[in-house]
């Protein structure tokens, strides 16, 4: 029951956080110089035409009225009209988000599969070759900007070697699988469409690794330091004193204790990947939220920018809530206190 109480409390806390984020984004996007009406009507627009469009879009009202109108709309599920796509922002978000979630989830999967084992190896072989290698690798991952790494990958694997696709979600001419989740790999898997699954997976590799490079570095370094601390602990010594082998101590005692702080960081890494998708999607022409947001910004499409920001914020908060809730099932000390 403690878990439910905890989740309810955190969900309630979400409301003020989201209000804060919406205020900030709204204020920032409205201080950007530029006139959306002029962008829509183009260079040949008449002053009268501009004025009437501004009036129609509500741009002449004071900022707090505009904000109030926006917030009232949100409570009805109305995120406004996108001036760029000429449709409701909510349906744009529904259309573009599966691509981003697919990419982010894939990146997180690679992060887990590479970051944690690398961290464990690094800690258990401290100051030896394997440790030096993984430390260098993770430092590179954290230090390299994603857009640059993406370009390098494109040059090497797409242009030079030609073994991996460099843009889009599917080979050209291939039609997406039957829509279930909107994530092509999962939909293809569910419908048993193997050719699409292969194509979709190949397309995920380069942007996925680019997006994961930073988070792999983060997780590896965290796992290493946390494992090193745990390996110094008294209960690890007790396990050795019982006659447990190195591997048994490492995987039976140290690992579960060592990954605890890593789990919190995973939530943060997920948020990082969601935000990072903006750049990576632009580099790989990935038709997701990031690319949508970049287009929206260049068109001064404020409702679209607001929509993407709020959606990412909600996702980030929810993922971290899930992560924090996980502790109740991993750490018995929380359950009983």
Partner 1 sequence: MLLDVKDMSLSLKREGKYIRILDQISFHVNEGETIGIVGESGCGKSMTALSLMRLLPDKARLEGKVVLQGDEITSFSKRKLEKVRGNQMSMIFQNPLTSLNPLQTVGIQIEESIILHTKMGKQQRRKRVLQLLNEVGLPRSEELIDDYPHQLSGGMRQRIMIAMAMACEPQLLICDEPTTALDVTVQAQILELMNEIKKETQMGIIMITHDMGVIAEVCDRVIVMYAGKIVEEAPVIELFLNPKHPYTLGLLDSIPKMGIRKQKLGSIPGTVPSPEKMPTGCRFVDRCSHAMDQCRNTLPEMIEINENHYTACWLYDEEVNKSGSIGSQKPETAFHY
Query: Where along the sequence are the contacts to partner 1 (CB under 8 A)?
Result: 233-235, 237-246, 248, 252-253, 256-257, 330-333, 336-337
* Contact criterion met (CB below 8 Å) for 170 and 200: yes
From CA 217, how far away is CA 194, in angstroms rounded?
32
Beta strands in the chain (DSSP E): none
Structure token digits, residue 136: 């260098």
CB of 164 to partner 1, least distance (A): 41
Indicate the burial class of 216 (C-beta count within 10 angstroms; 0-12, 13-18, 19 or more): buried
Considering the complex, state which of residue 38 and residue 248 has its C-beta at the smaller distance from partner 1: 248
68 versus 252: smaller Cβ distance to partner 1: 252
Cβ closer to partner 1: 54 or 248?
248
Q: Nearer Cβ to partner 1, position 238 or 285?
A: 238
Smallest gap from Cβ 253 to partner 1, in A, equals: 5
- What does the alpha-carbon distance between residue 177 and residue 186 come to, in Å, rounded to a whole number? 9
* Residue 179 vs 256, nearer CB to partner 1: 256
Residue 233 Cβ vs partner 1, minimum distance, rounded to whole Å: 7
Query: Which residues are paired to 88 by β-bridges?
Result: 81
**Distances, alpha carbon 253 to alpha carbons 25, 98, 218, in Å:** 46, 38, 23
- The nearest distance, CB 240 to partner 1, in angstroms, is 6
Nearest approach in angstroms of CB 230 to partner 1 is 10
């Amino acid at each position: 029951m403690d878990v439910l109480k905890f989740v309810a409390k955190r969900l309630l806390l979400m409301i003020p956080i989201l209000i804060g984020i919406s205020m900030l984004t709204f204020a920032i996007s409205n201080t950007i110089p530029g006139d959306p009406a002029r962008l829509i009507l183009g260079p040949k627009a008449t002053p009268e035409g501009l004025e009437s469009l501004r009036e129609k879009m509500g741009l002449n009202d004071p900022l707090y009225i505009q904000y109030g109108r926006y917030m009232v709309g949100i409570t009805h599920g109305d995120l406004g009209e996108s001036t760029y796509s000429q449709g409701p922002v909510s349906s744009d978000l529904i259309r573009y988000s599966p691509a981003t979630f697919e990419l982010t989830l894939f990146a997180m999967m690679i992060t887990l599969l590479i970051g944690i084992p690398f961290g464990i190896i690094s800690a258990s072989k401290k100051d030896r070759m394997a440790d030096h290698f993984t430390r260098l690798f993770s430092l590179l991952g954290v230090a390299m900007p994603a857009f640059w790494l993406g370009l390098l990958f494109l040059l090497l694997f797409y242009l030079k070697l030609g073994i991996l696709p460099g843009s889009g979600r599917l080979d050209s001419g291939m039609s997406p699988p039957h829509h279930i989740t909107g994530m092509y790999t999962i939909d293809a898997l569910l419908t048993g469409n193997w050719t699409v699954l292969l194509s979709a997976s190949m397309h995920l590799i380069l942007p996925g690794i680019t997006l994961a490079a930073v988070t792999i570095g983060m997780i590896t370094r965290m796992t290493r330091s946390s494992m090193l601390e745990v390996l110094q602990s008294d209960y690890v010594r007790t396990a050795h004193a019982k006659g447990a082998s190195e591997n048994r101590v490492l995987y039976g005692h140290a690992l579960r204790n060592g990954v605890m702080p890593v789990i919190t960081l995973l939530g943060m890494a997920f948020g990082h990947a969601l935000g990072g998708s903006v750049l990576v999607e632009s580099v790989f022409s990935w038709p997701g939220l990031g690319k949508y947001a970049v287009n929206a910004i260049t068109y001064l499409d404020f409702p679209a920018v607001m929509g993407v920001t709020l959606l990412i914020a909600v996702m980030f908060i929810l993922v971290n809530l899930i992560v924090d809730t996980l502790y109740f099932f991993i750490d018995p000390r929380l359950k009983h206190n």
